[in-house]
Amino acid sequence: MDGSSWAEPIPAVKSKADLAYESLRSAIAQGNLRPGERINMEELARSFGVSKIPIREAVKRLESDGLLVSRVHAGVTVAGIDVREMRGVFLAREVIEALIAGLAVQRVDDRQLAELHGIQQQMRDLLEQGDTAEMAELNSRFHRVLAEAAGYRILRDLTEQLLLTIRRYRITAPLGERNWRSVVDEHDTIMAALHRRDPQAAAAAARAHIGSQAAHEVEGGG
């Protein structure tokens, strides 16, 4: 059916449900809503200045994402963190980040390299100041840029999902300054492989980076 005679472009306007979803997702990612915390939909609707309908829609999407849990008599709560599942998250990240780094070597452009260097410098500056509050967001940005450079939307989406899970976990088990220094050093190894245009070295560096973090965070190795 040809709709060219009647179809008009749909304006890219976010709905109230979309905005509520993004706001709640951000609050969960940043730890403003912590694992196990109950969600009061009536209170949220008042705070957002909307009816309960967009809040319900947002909650359903977050349940599908695995970020909220709805139980009879318990209501809606922020999903908890399962350490056993975190091992699986790190295993998945090892494979995906290695693939991303190997692909990024072949496709990364000057803008992306400059952004990665800028992120690394910001992380170093914060460490010198003894301030780790923004390290998690900068780390997420580093891995997002790598995933963007790899060139596949599915890898960007998977990266975003896994990063969110890791950030939620680190809210309950935050990284110390020494471990953040290791993260920056491991990023440097990935960056060196990118500059050499060596996909095997980049993949190996990314796999080693995630493996090192897994050893520290879920295997008790650090």
> Residue 12: its pLDDT value, please?
53
pLDDT of 170 above 90: no
Looking at every residue in the chain, the average pLDDT score rounds to 89
Check residue 32 and report its DSSP letter.
S
Average pLDDT over residues 6-16: 61
> Residue 10: its pLDDT value, please?
44
Check residue 13 and report its DSSP letter.
-
> Residue 221: its pLDDT value, please?
42
Strand partners, 75: 71
Question: Taking each helix axis from N to C terminus, what angle separates 153-172 and 16-29, rounded to the nearest 10 degrees?
Answer: 50
Average pLDDT over residues 12-30: 84
- Is the full-model pTM beyond 0.85? no
Average pLDDT over residues 126-147: 94
Confidence of residue 222 (pLDDT cuts 50, 70, 90): very low
Q: Side by side, which strands form the sheet with 68-71?
A: 38-39, 75-78, 68-71
> Torsion angle, CA of 187/114/158/136, rounded to 10 degrees?
60
pLDDT of 7 above 70: no
Average pLDDT over residues 214-219: 82
DSSP H/E element including 189: helix 177-196
pLDDT of 188 above 60: yes
* DSSP string for 33-94: S-TTPEE-HHHHHHHHTS-HHHHHHHHHHHHHTTSEEEETTTEEEE----HHHHHHHHHHHH
Residue with tokens 């998250």: 89
Confidence of residue 13 (pLDDT cuts 50, 70, 90): low
For residue 16, what are the CA distances in angstroms to 6, 22, 29, 46, 54?
27, 10, 20, 13, 6
Q: Which residues of 183-204 are buried (b: 16+ CB within 10 A; e: fewer)?
A: bbebbebbbebbeeeebebbbb
